[in-house]
A = this chain, B = another copy of it.
Amino acid sequence: MKTINQLSISISECESMFVRAIEEAEKQGIGISLCVVDSSGVLKYFGRMDNAPLISIDISRKKAVTAIGFGMSTGEAWHDFIKDDPILNDGVVNIKDFILLGGGSPIVHDGNVIGAIGVSGGHYKQDEECVKAALNEL
């Protein structure tokens, strides 16, 4: 019988990423929400800092879902992929839970996408810094 073997991120790594992302957020003077989905796009972890804006709850989740959906980071990567094609550019807006804003990234381990992280709360460039910090923790 043929089966598929899928790797996913563990909860302990999620907790560590959140601790590290908070440090980076505090350095930048912002409050963030952080969301992690597993390699199937299923919710694994969510945390909202005490000073995070309410808008960050939904956005952080959508960034993680978008990043796992095609294994590609939100922000520049997705933007470059769609910007010169009107059908792609106008079409992605209706993908379920899609968000173009930077701050979502696949989590890669040994060449496997094992989940995705989404951070929201500051300017998306600040969110991206928090993602970078969190991923460096792994």
Measured CB to CB, the residues of A under 8 A from B are 1-15, 18, 38-50, 53-55, 57-59, 62, 68-71, 75-76, 79, 83, 86-96, 98-102, 109, 114, 124, 138
B93 touches A101 (CB 8 A): no
Q: List 13 A-B contacts (CB under 8 A).
A: A2-B10, A4-B7, A4-B8, A5-B5, A6-B6, A14-B47, A15-B47, A40-B41, A55-B70, A58-B95, A88-B101, A91-B100, A92-B101
Residues from chain B with a CB closer than 8 A to the CB of A71 are 53
A124 touches B91 (CB 8 A): yes
B124 touches A88 (CB 8 A): yes
Residue of A4, A57, A89 ringed by the most chain B CB atoms within 10 A: A4
- Complex Cα distance, B7 from A8, in Å, reads 11
Residues from chain B with a CB closer than 8 A to the CB of A79 are 86-87, 90
A93 touches B95 (CB 8 A): no
Kindly list 14 other residue pairs between chains A and B, CB separation below 8 angstroms, not including A4-B7, A41-B42, A44-B48: A2-B12, A2-B13, A5-B6, A14-B47, A15-B47, A46-B46, A55-B95, A62-B94, A79-B86, A87-B101, A88-B101, A88-B124, A90-B100, A91-B99
